Amino acid sequence: DESLSSRPMRRVTEPLARMGADIETTGAGTAPLRIHPVEKLHGIHYELPVASAQVKSAVLLAGLCAEGETCVTEPAPTRDHTERMLRGFGYEVRREGSRICLDGGGRLTACDIDVPADISSAAFFLVGASIAPGSELVLEHVGMNPTRDGAVTILRLMGADIEVENPRDVGGEPVADLRVRHAPLHGIEIPEELVPLAIDEFPALFVAAACAEGETVLTGAEELRVKESDRIQVMADGLRVLGVEAEPTPDGIRIRGGSLGGGEVLSHGDHRIAMSFAMAGLRASGTIRIKDCDNVNTSFPGFAGLAAGAGLKIEVLRG
């Protein structure tokens, strides 16, 4: 995957190296990676410089095979799917405030897993139904992990009409059906404590902000600059093409809602950018052409067909 191969990996390889791992990256700190065998790993107590579930999970999973205790301290809450999964497999994981710890050398017990619908994928349709007049959608069996539901909270703060129906627990993960109806949105200052809980959904939320009345301000989201693309800059560039006032900042963006026009936007191979601008087409006065969308098939195969079934006028162009 071209976009994943360009992501900085030293933030993962450095703590693993402290545990004794031998991993080589390119000179730029990206994949491809060379991982050499080592005799043993040892546990560490690691403080995340930036809240990241991916880095946390890498260290904890390495800790399963390490000698002694491995602990990760996070500066803000991040998604806890890995911890829930390990507990589901019978492994003891301890949380002490902002610190998560486990001991190496334990045993995993096989079990059945029910994987709910992905809230990050659902977010595109939550935004789409919120901005399209006359819309009403029900998204079934959506994972509502409390470390992942920030997009729902942010949309509600903006005035979205989202109901959580039939909440239940499936395999240690909270699940619910989401009913969303069109509603007029308004700009907000997004609380920084919600940023880690919606970090992957911000491209879609930026589209919601572009369709809202007033200004939306995001801060504390510098991690967006090191995703599959620099999502702050790429979204700002695309929104400007569509006629929206969007001002990127080092750790966020300011978006003044208004009318959307058509135009050609670049996704830079980032699946979430591509799907977000597809939803923007629901409110655009002209055709939006989105370049370089192949990676959508990696994360959300069938997106175009599902979107068309929900009412989008969407066409996939080859070549």
When pLDDT is averaged across residues 135-139 and rounded to a whole number, the result is: 98
Residue 80 annotated to the active site: no
Instruction: Tell whether the model's pLDDT for residue 298 goes beyond 90.
Output: no
Predicted pLDDT at 319: 65
Burial-class residue 146 by CB neighbours within 10 Å (0-12, 13-18, 19+). exposed
State the catalytic residue, choosing from 200, 237, 270, 294: 200
Q: What is the pLDDT of residues 50-79, one digit of tens each?
A: 888 999 999 999 999 999 999 999 998 888
Instruction: Quickly state the pLDDT bin for 6 (edges 50, 70, 90).
Output: confident
Q: Is the pLDDT of residue 83 over 70?
A: yes
Residue 112 has pLDDT above 90, yes or no: no
User: How large is the average pLDDT for residues 141-150?
Assistant: 95
pLDDT band at residue 1 using 50, 70 and 90 as cut-offs = low
Q: What percent of the chain has pLDDT over 70?
A: 99
Share of the chain above pLDDT 90, in %: 87
Per-residue pLDDT tens over the stretch 260-277: 999 999 999 999 999 999
The answer to pTM > 0.75 is yes
Between 1 and 308, residue with greater pLDDT: 308
pLDDT digits (tens, 9 = 90+) for 222-256: 989 988 789 999 999 999 999 999 999 999 999 99
Q: Quick check: 131 pLDDT over 80? A: yes
Q: How many CA within 13 A on the CB side of residue 296? A: 23
The answer to whether residue 111 scores a pLDDT higher than 80 is yes
Mean pLDDT estimate for the chain: 95
Q: Is the pLDDT of residue 282 over 90?
A: yes
Phi-psi region of 91 (alpha: psi -120 to 50; beta: other; left: phi over 0): beta
For residue 255, what pLDDT is reported? 99
Domains of the chain, earliest start first: 2-103 (3.65.10.10), 119-309 (3.65.10.10)
Tell me the average pLDDT across 111-121: 92
**165-221: per-residue pLDDT in tens?**
999 988 789 999 999 999 999 999 999 999 989 999 999 999 999 999 999 999 999
